[in-house]
């Protein structure tokens, strides 16, 4: 094992905070942590442990009653083995999409690093993150392989959009890091909630999630603090591009990360009315989606990128509560 602490007994780690004027020191700390607190997809996950064996009928794969689809009568009325298999394949589908998102992230980080001067601490950090994301992709793909489900990733349109996002790492890094937060924050929110739920989670899935949130805490911290340092230096036009572009990216990422894939909908013949009930017309799902992006909204407000005109765009895209009263109880940013 390459890790230097007992991950399974440790609390879910939070993000690094930055003291005023200490961005370079923060980046150096994150790089050091990547050396002392890192994981290998094969050395640190006991794939062949009998406890980690994947049985598609294992009830621990079933969607919980607080899952939007899991709460529907349609799902609860499925035979138990089918409920379990759908839950397992939902996990595998999200991991396949996750590893393709991380492919975009890695390529964008390499583009970002090409712009950095010799001696830059950000260069070292960016390469640490690329290495860690590569290990996550190996973990996710190994899980998909062992699930027995031929999960598909991004569609053609999303793959074309991905090439544009990759180029932002070089052309407009602040918007690229908005993409990073849009992909990582919602899934980080879901995984942390799951790990703290007290549910009986399959041990293989728990191990993968704990590794993921431990290292993503660094990645999210860097993205947030990079934006805090960089955005105030942007001119009016660039700030407007960021204020307008980010909500569109976030809306796309939220749909991709929090809803079942089209492949799963077709495979299980999930009726349109069930999808509408579980997601489109479900106030609880909307509330959870909003909560998963609360940190991003607060950051955009702090950066002056969520004024009244821009906030109307966020609301139109379903990323901001409709009324001021409903935003007052957003979850704490504490991890």
Tell me if 18 is assigned to some domain.
no
pLDDT (tens digit, 0 to 9) for every residue of the chain, 335 residues total? 444 444 554 555 666 665 556 899 999 999 999 999 999 999 999 999 999 999 999 999 999 999 999 999 999 999 999 999 999 999 999 999 999 999 999 999 999 999 999 999 999 999 999 999 999 999 999 999 999 999 998 777 778 888 999 999 999 999 999 999 988 999 999 999 999 998 999 999 999 999 999 999 999 999 999 999 999 999 999 999 999 999 998 888 877 778 899 999 999 999 999 999 999 999 999 999 899 999 999 999 999 999 999 999 999 998 998 654 444 334 444 44
In the 3-class helix/strand/coil scheme, how is 238-285 assigned residue by residue? Answer: HHHHHHHHHHHHHHHHHHHHHCCCHHHHHHCCCCHHHHHHHHHCCHHH
Q: Could you tell me the residue range of the domain that residue 58 belongs to?
A: 23-321
Count other Cβ atoms within 10 Å, centred on residue 250. 25
DSSP letters for 302-327: HTT---HHHHHHHHHTT-S-SSHHHH
Report yes or no: 278 and 68 within 8 Å, Cβ to Cβ.
Answer: yes
Please report, for the domain that includes residue 286, its CATH number: 1.10.620.20
What does the block give as tokens for 110?
Answer: 């390499």
pTM: 0.88
Q: What is the pLDDT of residue 328?
A: 37
Q: Is 10 among the domain residues?
A: no
The CA–CA distances, whole Å, from 17 to 21, 58, 70, 224, 330 equal: 12, 40, 36, 10, 20
Q: Is the dihedral of CA 119, 120, 126, 132 positive or negative?
A: positive
247 Cβ contact partners less than 8 Å away, ≥ 6 residues apart:
310, 313, 314, 317, 319
Look-up of token digits 């230097």? 4
Pick the closest to residue 31 from 122, 136, 137 (CA basis).
Answer: 122
pLDDT of residue 27: 96
What is the full DSSP assignment across 74-129?
Answer: HHHTS-HHHHHHHHHHHHHHHHHHHHHHHHHHHHHHHHHHHTSPTT-HHHHHHHHH
Does some domain include residue 117? yes
Could you tell me if residue 210 is inside a domain? Answer: yes
Task: Quote the number of domains for the chain.
Answer: 1
CA 96 to the chain's CA centroid: 12
CA 18 to chain centroid, in Å, comes to 22
Cβ atoms of residues 156 and 98 within 8 Å: no
pLDDT of residue 145: 97
Residue 12: inside a domain: no
CA–CA gap between residue 198 and residue 109 (Å, rounded): 35
Task: Tokens 């909500």: give the residue.
Answer: 247
Task: Note whether residue 104 is domain-resident.
Answer: yes
* Cβ neighbours for 167, distance < 8 A, ≥ 6 positions apart: 108, 111
Instruction: State residue 119 phi and psi, 5-degree precision.
Output: 85, 0
Q: Do residues 291 and 331 touch, judged by C-beta distance below 8 A?
A: yes
| Count of Cβ atoms closer than 10 Å to residue 103 Cβ | 17
Centre a 10 Å sphere on the Cβ of residue 241 and count the other Cβ atoms it contains.
15
pLDDT of residue 13: 61
Residue whose token pair is 């009998």: 50
17 found inside a domain = no
Confirm whether 124 is domain-assigned: yes
């Amino acid at each position: 094992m390459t890790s230097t602490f007992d991950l399974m007994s440790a609390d879910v780690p939070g993000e690094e905070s930055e003291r005023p004027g200490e961005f370079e020191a923060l980046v150096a700390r994150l790089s050091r942590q990547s050396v002392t607190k890192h994981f290998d997809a094969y050395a640190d996950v006991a794939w062949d442990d009998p406890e980690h064996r994947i049985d598609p009928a294992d009830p621990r794969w079933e969607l919980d009653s607080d899952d939007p689809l899991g709460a529907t009568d349609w799902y609860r009325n499925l035979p138990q083995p089918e409920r379990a298999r759908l839950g397992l394949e939902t996990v595998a589908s999200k991991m396949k999409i996750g590893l393709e998102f991380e492919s975009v992230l890695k390529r964008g980080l390499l583009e970002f690093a090409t712009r950095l001067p010799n001696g830059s601490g950000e260069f070292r950090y960016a390469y640490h993150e690329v290495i860690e994301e590569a290990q996550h992709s190996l973990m996710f793909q190994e899980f998909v392989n062992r699930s027995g489900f031929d999960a598909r990733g991004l569609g053609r349109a999303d793959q074309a959009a991905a090439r544009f996002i990759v180029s932002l790492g070089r052309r407009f890094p602040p918007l690229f890091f908005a993409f990073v937060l849009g992909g990582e924050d919602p899934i980080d929110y879901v995984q942390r909630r799951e790990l703290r739920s007290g549910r009986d989670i399959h041990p293989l899935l728990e191990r993968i999630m704990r590794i993921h949130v431990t290292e993503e805490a660094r990645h999210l911290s860097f993205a947030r603090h990079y934006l805090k340092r960089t955005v105030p230096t942007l001119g009016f036009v660039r700030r407007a591009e960021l204020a307008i572009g980010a909500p569109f990216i976030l809306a796309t990422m939220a749909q991709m990360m929090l809803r079942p894939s089209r492949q799963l909908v077709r495979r299980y013949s999930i009726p349109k009315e069930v999808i509408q009930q579980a997601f489109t017309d479900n106030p609880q799902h909307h509330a959870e989606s909003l909560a998963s992006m609360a940190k991003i909204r607060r950051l955009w407000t702090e950066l002056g990128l969520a004024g009244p005109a821009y906030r109307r765009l966020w609301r139109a895209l379903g990323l901001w509560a409709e009324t001021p009263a409903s935003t007052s109880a957003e979850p704490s940013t504490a991890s």
